[in-house]
């Protein structure tokens, strides 16, 4: 028996690439998310709708979406597929939805993307407020963030950043426990300086992040110019 015959596959391994962008015009740090996201303090049932009647089961826009989420103990990621009903909110089946990793359009009509803004509400039947969304025509949330589940270890592989006009600095940040709002995010990688061409870092060895945790990219432009900043990172998780 050779050495490769004795290797045991890690069936719980996950590989991912996280991509995000953000429009900004201020010299201030901002999370690289295409739309706003407000982490919730409880795990409950949510609902989802669109601002367009075309995003429905037989419409020309988005027809179904998948929500990737974690519960209150940061167990996950869990997924649930939801069939849209235009502007009418559809309740999710899961009753333990707290932290949102991302939302992704699965099936579409002739337009090929969501026509309106896909909105995830804090309560059922479109009640409460919108705390996560997909921008019109984006087909996914485009958030440069990743939740590390409880009992799991995430290894950061590479990091990239750029912008449309000005130079700036991008940082990867994390918090020790997403459920503890008193914990501040801290810089875990130093600052990746960039201009309007992509700059990248590949780590060897990989950077280790223990769960439960949350990793996000923060961008700070050098100049107060209207621009769009882009960032992405790769990870392997067990």
pTM for the model stands at: 0.93
Share of the chain above pLDDT 90, in %: 89
DSSP states along 172-237 = EEEES-TT-TTSPPEEEEEEEEE-SS-EEEEEEEEEEEESSEEEEEEEEESS---EEEEEEEEEEE
Cis peptide before 212 (omega within 30 of 0): yes
* Three-state secondary structure call for residue 40: coil
Closest CA to 44 of 104, 79, 101, 91: 91
Domain end, chosen from 134, 151, 182, is at 134
168 and 223 fall within a common domain: yes
- What's the whole-number average pLDDT of the chain? 94
Give the confidence band of 1 by pLDDT, cuts at 50, 70, 90.
very low
Domain end, chosen from 72, 100, 134, is at 134
Could you count the other beta carbons within 10 Å of the beta carbon of residue 152? 19
Which two three-digit tokens encode residue 208?
A: 């280790």
pLDDT digits (tens, 9 = 90+) for 68-112: 999 999 999 999 999 999 999 999 999 999 999 999 999 999 999
* Residue 182 domain boundaries: 12-34+143-237
Angle at Cα 122 formed by Cα 121 and Cα 124, nearest 5°? 75
| Cα 199 to Cα 202: distance, rounded to the nearest angstrom | 10
150 domain-assigned: yes
The stretch 125-131 carries a mean pLDDT of 98
96 domain-assigned: yes
The tally of domains found in the chain comes to 2
């Amino acid at each position: 028996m050779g050495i490769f015959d004795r290797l045991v596959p890690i069936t719980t391994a996950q590989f991912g690439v996280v991509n995000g962008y953000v429009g900004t015009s201020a010299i201030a740090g901002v999370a690289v998310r295409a739309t706003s996201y407000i982490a919730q303090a409880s795990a409950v049932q949510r609902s989802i709708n669109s601002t367009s009647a075309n995003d429905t089961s037989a419409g020309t826009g988005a027809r179904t979406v998948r929500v990737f989420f974690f519960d209150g103990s940061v167990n996950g990621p869990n997924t649930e597929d939801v069939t849209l009903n235009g502007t009418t909110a559809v309740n999710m089946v899961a009753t333990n939805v707290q932290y949102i990793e991302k939302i992704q359009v699965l099936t579409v009509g002739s337009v090929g993307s969501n026509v309106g803004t896909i909105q995830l509400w804090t309560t059922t039947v479109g009640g409460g407020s919108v705390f996560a969304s997909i921008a019109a025509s984006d087909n996914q949330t485009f958030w440069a963030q990743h939740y590390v589940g409880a009992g799991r270890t995430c290894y950061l592989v590479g990091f990239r950043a750029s912008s449309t006009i000005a130079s700036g600095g991008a940082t990867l940040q994390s918090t020790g426990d997403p459920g503890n709002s008193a914990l501040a995010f801290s810089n875990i990688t130093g600052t990746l300086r960039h201009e309007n061409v992509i700059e990248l870092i590949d780590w060897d060895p990989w950077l280790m992040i223990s769960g439960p945790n949350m990793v996000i990219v923060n961008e700070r432009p050098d100049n107060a110019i209207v621009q769009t900043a882009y960032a992405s990172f790769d990870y392997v998780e067990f």
